[in-house]
Amino acid sequence: MPSPQQPPAGPTRGTLLALAVPIASIAALGVWAVLDWQALPAGFPVHWGIDGADRWVATTPRSVATFLALHALVCLLFALSAWGVLYRSRLAATSGGHAPSDSVIRQRAVRLLLVVEYLIAYPAWLALLMLPAIAIWVWAAGLFGAVIVLTASLIQAGLHRARAKRTSDRTRRGDGSEDRYWRWGVFYINRADPAFLIEKRVGVGYTLNLGHPLSWVLLCLLVAIPVLGRLL
Confidence of residue 50 (pLDDT cuts 50, 70, 90): confident
The conformation of residue 180, written as its DSSP 8-state character, comes to G
If one compares 215 and 155, the residue with the highest pLDDT of the two is 215
Q: How far apart are the first and last CA of the chain?
A: 51
- ∠ CA 150-152-153 to the nearest 5 degrees? 60
At 216, the amino acid letter reads W
pLDDT (tens digit per residue) in 128-139: 998 887 888 888
For position 96, what pLDDT does the model report?
46
Domain boundaries, the chain: 13-178+213-231
pLDDT value at 112 more than 50: yes
Give the other-Cβ count within 10 Å of 178's Cβ: 13
Tell me the average pLDDT of the chain. Answer: 80
Classified as helix, coil or strand, 68 is: helix
| Of 105, 96, 210, nearest in space to 151 by CA | 105
Q: Where are the beta strands (DSSP E) in the chain?
A: 43-49, 52-58, 182-183, 187-188, 197-199, 206-208
pLDDT (tens digit per residue) in 222-232: 999 999 888 88
- How far lies 228's CA from each of 20, 58, 67, 80, 216, in Å? 21, 16, 8, 19, 18
pLDDT value at 47 more than 90: no
pLDDT value at 186 more than 50: yes
| Of 94, 74, 93, nearest in space to 82 by CA | 74
| Of 84, 116, 91, nearest in space to 105 by CA | 91
For position 170, what pLDDT does the model report?
47
For position 11, what pLDDT does the model report?
61
Mean pLDDT of 35-44: 94
Mean pLDDT of 200-209: 73
Helices (H) and strands (E) in the chain, counts: 5, 6
Packing angle, helices 13-35 and 99-129, rounded to 10: 10
For position 137, what pLDDT does the model report?
83
Give the other-Cβ count within 10 Å of 133's Cβ: 13
For position 30, what pLDDT does the model report?
96
pLDDT value at 178 more than 90: no
pLDDT (tens digit per residue) in 138-170: 888 888 888 888 778 767 766 665 555 555 554
Q: pTM of the entire structure?
A: 0.78
